[in-house]
Chains A and B, each alone.
Chain A
Amino acid sequence: MLGKTASGIFWLFRYLERAENIARLIETGHRFTLTRNSGRQDEWRSILSALGKDAAYRTSHQGYEAAQVVDYLLRDRNNPGNLRALIESARQNARTTRTAITRELWEAVNECWICVNEALRRQVREAELPATIDLIERQTAQVRGAMENTMLRNDGYNFARTGNFIERADSMARLIDVKYYVLLPSVSFVGSSLDNIQWETILRSTSAYSAYRWLYPGRASALGIAEFLILDRRFPRSLAFCYGKLTDNLRHLAMSYGAQSDSLAEAERIYSGFASLTASQIIEDGLHEFLVEFLRVNRNLATMIEQEYRFNS
């Protein structure tokens, strides 16, 4: 496989994951504004922070009015990483990797682009927002379905998955970091309503709300949530889960190429680190510091993969 092609597939799934995260955050933010009377603008601001976009947003906009933030995230040209542009980039990457992806996957990406592009041609009115988010989520789910059902389990698939989980780990860590203060027992007002709202929000925005309730009915605690989001290997968005998948896919790559792999060794090192950790230890040592360090090693792993597999000349 060409290095360029591997890069194309890797980024195709990074863009797709990133777009899904934006959609989910908008969904959570919107729900928050509908159900709560206070702290609405703060919530939109923290969503922008979780996406690393707050500073950029403020250079072109004032205030955190919902419609304006939503438009910024979905389609504003001032935001080069808007959802519409991400889907367009994903589609562009699919076009350049046509020789390595199945027809079904290509058509799913193309259709996703056609539909999302059309839905975001004009600013989305609030009345249409739930349906629009729903459309985006269904379209991206179809892309994933097409990949799972039709792609050969070869290097192309491994690059797709690797890109997917590097991105997911990155966005999860950012999201937890933005809300990290909520998870600190020292500042949480146990049982207060603010507390519950914040917990609910963080769980919803990571698609963890119902999963967490199944596992721990009626027992929401800061520690429990931190443990779940960072370390629980059953939860498909936890950092530990992402690294389980990263090591699996990097191992397959190394095996199929019959070569030593530095990026595999690094991923395994990070993954095994999770095994010896507990949430209380992380919090004791500093949750924010932990997340900052995690983001650094995750970025570093992405660079190692790029170099090892010759993404660029």
Chain B
Amino acid sequence: MATKPLCFDEMLNEDGTPRAAYASYHKWFADQDSPRLKQKARDAEEFFRRTGITFAVYGDDEAEERLIPFDIIPRIVTARQWAKVSRGIEQRVRAINAFLQDIYHRQEIVRAGRLPVELLEKNDAFVSQMIGFTPPGGVYTHIVGIDLVRTGPDEFLVLEDNARTPSGVSYMLENRETMMNMFPELFSNIRVRNVSDYPKNLRASLSRVAPAACTGDPVVAVLTPGIHNSAYFEHAFLADQMGAELVEGHDIRIVDGRVAMRTTQGYQPIDVLYRRLDDDYLDPLIFKPESVLGIPGIFDLYRAGRVTIANAPGTGIADDKAIYSYMPDIVEFYTGEKPLLQNVQTWRCSEKDSLGYVLDHLSELVVKEVHGSGGYGMLIGPAASRKELADFAAKLRAKPANYIAQPTLALSTIPIFTNSGLAPRHVDLRPFVLVSPDRMEITPGGLTRVALRKGSLVVNSSQGGGTKDSWVIEDD
């Protein structure tokens, strides 16, 4: 490679030799001829197009279906590295559930002076109707995605928690299918941990939190906002893979005190509703009255133990970036342990000293809205023009509590395959976690997102990011 990488590259040492995790893969790769790989890269795209793995992007005019670009070079971590990461994730997810249980009950963490009460009281994601209610099995976040970034051989940091409705798991599954289709020989030679049980485990996990009213085998359904939602493919995919129905608000009615779906043989009760719909739209009687996507009256039935909603309403508060900045304290408070996974250093602009620092160093920092997601509404200081910096500074001064800031990290890179060979690009990793009353399952690997533009740190698919298959390989 012409330029020496400035960041930790997960595949190659600085001298260009492969790191241990990539030893077998790199040996295989060196034997491949470039035209064949180029053909495979095109085949992969064709495979995604044919199977309809797309997401919708809304322009001014009409919705357009796009493919998320897929890169054929996998992300590889060793079982040893993974064991360490997954212990950290387990601890963090345990803490998030305990935190949610606490803030909707006695709020011990506030009483102990470890979290300012304003972060709860003034937070739109705090759902007061959850106060005093414990969901079945005490599980708040049935499905969690923890976004990790890596800065060195053993440095994995948490960038973001997704406790509301994390998406992307269908890409994790389809990326693997694609890779096995393209390069079966790799999977015969390298022992890659399987991810394909995820839908089965998801169903089992949801079945374990059936409501009190459930008699017999729990009926699970996926609630989608509809075909125009950008993640509709994933909703349909998961319902299909789980053998569950995919329902919309208008398929559902309350019949005899149960949430029931209109089938060809009449209304049938649903026990567990895996909703891919934000809290605000869930129940027009409680939240947005104009919502036509949700189910009027579902919240009362939920509290009465007639249906389970996964994830529980009000879990989104754990995704809040102001709450995030307290996550190390939260982990310690509820587990009594030091956090195994660290946060990225974070300045809360609500604090006067921090705000001053952030304003002075804006061009070096990444500034995010506390309630934002998907990479929208953020400032990447080093990439911003003087005018953008000045505009953002004004926004910051006007509403400082709305923002947090983080240093521009030296995110790890993994090469992508380009027409002119391998080229390092920044990546993150979203492992998926299933939580049920008696266990937690972390799928080995997760979704690797990659910024396809050289030097870019933005991996979001809505902003031109791509994905890679993510392998956890057995140690030899």
Contacts and interface: CB of A to CB of B under 8 A. Distances in A.
A4 B50 contact: no
A2 B236 CA distance: 14
Contacts of A4: 248, 251, 262
Residue in B49, B52, B227, B251 with the greatest tally of chain A CB atoms within 10 Å: B52
Contact of A310 (B239, B245, B262): B262
Given A99-B244, A114-B49, A3 B236 contact: no
Contacts of A95: 52, 227, 232-233, 236
Contact of A114 (B50, B244, B261): B50
Given A2-B261, A110-B52, A111-B50, A310 B266 contact: yes
Contacts of B150: none
Contacts, number: 65
B264 A6 contact: yes
B227 A107 contact: no
Interface residues of B, number: 26
A257 to B, nearest CB: 5
A110 B236 contact: no
Interface residues of A, number: 23
A313 interface: yes
A59 to B, nearest CB: 25
A243 to B, nearest CB: 22
B262 A313 contact: yes
Interface in B363-405: none
Contacts of B245: 2, 5, 99
A31 interface: no
B247 A2 contact: yes
Interface secondary structure of A, over-half rule? helix
Contacts of B3: none
Contact of B264 (A2, A110, A114, A313): A2
Nearest to B227: A96
A251 to B, nearest CB: 15
Contacts of B262: 2-4, 310, 313
A106 interface: yes
Contacts of B265: 257, 259
A2 B51 contact: no
A248 interface: no
B263 A1 contact: yes
A107 B251 CA distance: 26
B228 to A, nearest CB: 11
B43 interface: no
A58 to B, nearest CB: 29
A99 B247 CA distance: 10
Given A98-B240, A99-B236, A106-B52, A310 B264 contact: yes
A305 to B, nearest CB: 10
Given A4-B251, A110-B50, A99 B263 contact: no
Given A2-B261, A99-B244, A107-B50, 14 more contacts: A1-B264, A2-B246, A2-B262, A4-B262, A95-B227, A98-B236, A99-B240, A99-B243, A103-B51, A106-B52, A110-B50, A114-B50, A155-B264, A313-B250
Interface of A: 1-6, 92, 95-96, 98-99, 103, 106-107, 110-111, 114, 155, 257, 259, 309-310, 313
Q: Which 9 A-B pairs have the closest CB atoms?
A: A98-B236, A309-B264, A110-B52, A3-B262, A99-B240, A99-B239, A6-B264, A98-B240, A1-B264
18 contacts: A2-B245, A2-B246, A2-B251, A2-B261, A3-B263, A3-B264, A92-B227, A95-B227, A99-B244, A99-B246, A106-B51, A107-B52, A110-B51, A114-B50, A259-B265, A310-B262, A310-B263, A313-B251
